[in-house]
Amino acid sequence: MRLSLRPEYVDWESGEYVFDWGSLTPRAAEQGVYDLSSKPLVDRLDLLLLKELELDASKSFPEISEQLYRKHGVKVSDRLLLYHYENHLVARKMFSKYRVLFSQSEKLGVYLLTQVSLGALDEYVGWVRRVPYLNKELLDPAGQHFSEHYLPSNGYQGFLGYVNSKLSPLATRMKMFVSLPGSRSGFSLPFELFDEESGEWIHDAHADAQRVLAKARELMGTA
């Protein structure tokens, strides 16, 4: 599950989180973003528009038009993009909800992989979800939990203190990984795998795996 920023802990003048680790409250429940009840009808331009919105939803339609031409050689007017947005993306519920997120650039990425103590999963998840920096989480009924956090460098010590006081006592095993700003890559919709004639995603997992292995061998040979 991907989670929104917590607006109650944001100073909107500075655009930064401001809070006391000792007074964090439970996070309100968030519904899933995608409505899977119906299969939307889409075309390639819809996917390209979704991709640009996923990268930066604050861009204007003229800016998106310019980006599509520069990146993909697709020449489309901002008026046509607006039409696709209103009559395809919105009308066909290609996205039904959205999350509001802070940019991850210039942030530390901190990832926790935890085997939670027996019977403590609900309490552990409750403490994790209070953290304003929480971006995503994965969990299973067996008690393994993964959480992804992006925080300013000056928030790292406070985060460690919170982990040691609230999370570690509920864990039988915990690993923490840290990524530095500029060391991460993000990927948007793989529109290249969409076949416009059939309206289906085309994906050959075996062929893709072979290409990845071939590239890995190539890189290992040049290392």
pLDDT of residue 188: 66
Q: pLDDT value at position 222? A: 64
* pLDDT for the residue 138: 92
pLDDT above 90: percentage of residues in the chain: 39
| pLDDT tens digits for range 122-166 | 999 999 999 999 988 998 888 999 999 999 989 999 999 999 999
CB 74 within 8 A of CB 68: yes
The DSSP code sequence of 32-59 is -S---SS-----HHHHHHHHHHHH-TT-
Least trusted range by pLDDT, from 26-40, 44-58, 62-76, 172-186: 26-40
- The enclosing domain of 136 has a CATH number of 3.30.70.920
Residue 19 lies in a domain: yes
Kindly state whether residue 158 falls inside one of the protein's structural domains. yes
Please report whether residue 131 resides in a domain.
Answer: yes
> Can you tell me whether residue 171 is helix, strand or coil?
strand
pLDDT at 164: 97
Residues belonging to the chain: 223
**For residue 130, is it within any domain?**
yes
Q: Phi, psi at residue 153, to the nearest 5°?
A: -60, -30
Residue 184 in any domain: the answer is no
The verdict on residue 92 lying in a domain is no
**DSSP E strands, 68-212:** 108-116, 134-139, 144-151, 171-179, 194-195, 200-201
Query: How much of the chain exceeds pLDDT 70, in percent?
Result: 88
Q: How far is CA 48 from CA 44, 68, 86, 188, 190, in A?
A: 6, 7, 15, 10, 9
Q: Is residue 106 part of a domain?
A: yes
* CA dihedral sign of residues 14, 15, 21, 26: positive
- Cα separation, 173 vs 191, in Å, equals 39
Average pLDDT, the chain: 85
Position 189 pLDDT exceeds 90: no
Count of domains observed in the chain: 1
Residue 72 pLDDT:
86
Q: 106: domain range?
A: 7-31+102-179
Query: What pLDDT is attached to residue 39?
Result: 55
Is residue 47 in some structural domain?
Answer: no
Average pLDDT value for residue range 168-186: 89
pLDDT at 34 over 70: no
